[in-house]
Structure 1
Amino acid sequence: MQVNDLISHEFSRNIGLLSENDMQKLLQSHVAIAGCGGVGGIHALTLARMGIGKFSLADLDEFERENISRQFGAYQSTVGRHKAEVIGEMIRDINPEAEVHLYKEGISTKNVTEFLQEADLYVDGMEFFEFDIRRLLFNTSREMGIYALTSAPLGFGGTLQVFAPDGMTFDQYFGIREGMSYEEKIAAFAVGVAPWPYQKKYMDLSKVSFKAKKGPAVAPSCTLASALVAAEVAKILCQRGKVKPVPHYIQIDLMLRKFKTSRVWGGGNNPLQRLKAWFALRMIRRSLSQG
């Protein structure tokens, strides 16, 4: 099966919104995704259906029953199976010509360069609470001159932040400084990824456990996150319009019918962001003290 045959059949309905030349680029493009669960798995599958032809997928975990409500590789038949392996098989079932490289041991300082070295861009699919490896991936992407994207599923909504290799850094946007505790980093990350926490109006915050590193999430928010990422990936790889990296962001809440596209002036140094991070830190510490 050749590229032109794929464009004429499997991806023919993309044509009209994407051109044949766009499809050639996408089928030759390589995307690295760390995390193959709630957002990472559907990022990978959505990008595969859009025509991305090469993937590096990383995840440590196996599917569990609690993943079925929102993770698009989770079925009764895949419980107990490795997430990256399952998503890789699903990608190849979409496109038999796809190249898929699996990192079943996850990402660390030892293999992060190898993981990203062939990639045209990086897409973040890691759990919200996994901060240090996320920071490593974003900073390494910058060093290697590639875009890095993150989209957080929040409540019944999602956000999008794009990090350009020559733009504001991960640490600048989120206000990360050496010597910060884990709780301080998570607080700064939370208010940076969601400048307007719409979901707090209807979310039961008692179900968020910072100690267990778990919080509520639903399938629609994961689907929305994948749509935001896929559109931006097409824009970047096919050079279809102006990319607006951080401090610009997009935030949507479907339950409240809220849509906001704006920027966080100064990133993490913005006084309002620092105040929000202080309040978020208080909430995290209160949650931890309550067990």
Structure 2
Amino acid sequence: MLSWFDFLPLRADRQGPWQVVSFLEVREAAEDEGLSPVEAEIRCLQRGYVPSRYIRSMGTIGIDGQIRLLSSAVAVIGCGGLGGLVADLLARAGVGRLVLVDGDVFDETNLNRQILSFEGNLGLSKSKVAAQRVTEINGVVRAEGRQCMFDEFTADGILEGCDLAVDCLDNLSTRRILFSECRTRGIPVVSGAIGGFWGQIGVAMPDEQNLAEFLSGDTDKGVETETGNPPFTPAVIAALECAQAVKILTGKGKLLTDQLLWMDLAEDEFTRLRLS
């Protein structure tokens, strides 16, 4: 018996070297075939047909890379200035499962920089709003909003089944816990931090030196307590975090392992700091 996927040659349009099918048709096919949306997209890609929403990514990561993203699970720890943007970008990239963690709610001070913060959702859970936003962007992605703080007691439930964690935290004490828990479980961490015009990003692989050991400062709040955070700094670091995340998950490009990339937007400088 023929399936919907057997008729892909009749449904697809050629765009350059790619055979493209509407993501809306793939969504309908998932329902008809009794598949999850992500399974349907993966089946299309395995047959060489690209759901239209990913066509602009093909020249960068290719079909195999997109399949890897759809098959991956990422924990985003913190859904504020960095995390809201990271969730948005990873949803658009097509990461199959996002675990979105934040125990806080939106308040008026978030409005200047947090992409998910609006006048109409003040007082609402950051993680729940993030999950809803991800679903609106890409209904294929399984978005799980966890309204809790990350610590030794919640780590198991949060990190279970995850291939990667993205550190979008604003304090070093929780960051160190995240690094420790991920290292124990063999999970890479992409870590970003911001304050004023400055930001930094690095990658900690489980078998390499723990990046958290090189971080210094107050254990409750980082440099942003003194310098504040303008709207543009989180956007730059979040984009760099997502680039590292996609490279880890797809196996493409070089990684910022055993080093920090330090950014000073006041002087328009980027500096690579070796940690070994």
TM-score normalised by the chain length of structure 1: 0.74
**1:64 matched to which residue of 2?**
107
Greater strand proportion: 2
**2:201 matched to which residue of 1?**
160
**1:242 matched to which residue of 2?**
254
**2:121 matched to which residue of 1?**
78
Out of 241, 262, 266, the position equivalent to 1:255 is: 266
Aligned pairs for 1:1-291 (under 5 A) are 1=27, 2-3=40-41, 4=44, 7-127=50-170, 130-170=171-211, 172-174=213-215, 183=218, 185=219, 208=226, 215-246=227-258, 248-265=259-276
In structure 2, list runs of 5 or more residues that go unmatched.
1-26, 28-39
- Give identity over the alignment, percent: 27
What amino acid sits opposite 2:174 in the alignment? Answer: I
Question: In the comparison of the two structures, how many residue pairs are matched?
Answer: 233
Structure index of larger Rg: 2
**2:4 matched to which residue of 1?**
none
Matches of 1:241 and 1:87 in 2, distance apart? 28
**1:196 matched to which residue of 2?**
none
The alpha-carbon deviation at position 156 of structure 1 amounts to 2.8
Range with greater deviation from structure 2 (107-116 or 166-175) = 166-175
TM-score normalised by the chain length of structure 2: 0.78
In structure 1, list runs of 5 or more residues that go unmatched.
176-181, 191-204, 209-214, 266-291
1:203-241, Cα deviation, whole Å (9 max, x unpaired): xx9x72xxxxxx510121111011111111111111113
Range with greater deviation from structure 2 (148-157 or 84-93) = 148-157
The alpha-carbon deviation at position 255 of structure 1 amounts to 2.6
**1:212 matched to which residue of 2?**
none
The alpha-carbon deviation at position 171 of structure 1 amounts to 5.0
Aligned partner of residue 10 in structure 1, secondary structure: helix
Matches of 2:256 and 2:241 in 1, distance apart? 13
1:59-90, Cα deviation, whole Å (9 max, x unpaired): 11111121111001001121111100111011
Contact 1:63 1:83 in 2 (8 A): yes
Contact 1:155 1:253 in 2 (8 A): no
Matches of 2:213 and 2:193 in 1, distance apart? 19
The alpha-carbon deviation at position 46 of structure 1 amounts to 1.1
1:176-208, Cα deviation, whole Å (9 max, x unpaired): xxxxxx94x569x86xxxxxxxxxxxxxx9x72
The alpha-carbon deviation at position 105 of structure 1 amounts to 2.2
Note closer, same or farther for the CA distance 1:8–1:69 as it changes in structure 2 (3 Å cut): same
Instruction: Determine which structure has greater relative contact order: mean sequence separation of CA pairs < 8 Å that are 6+ residues apart, divided by chain length.
Output: 1
Matches of 2:195 and 2:174 in 1, distance apart? 21
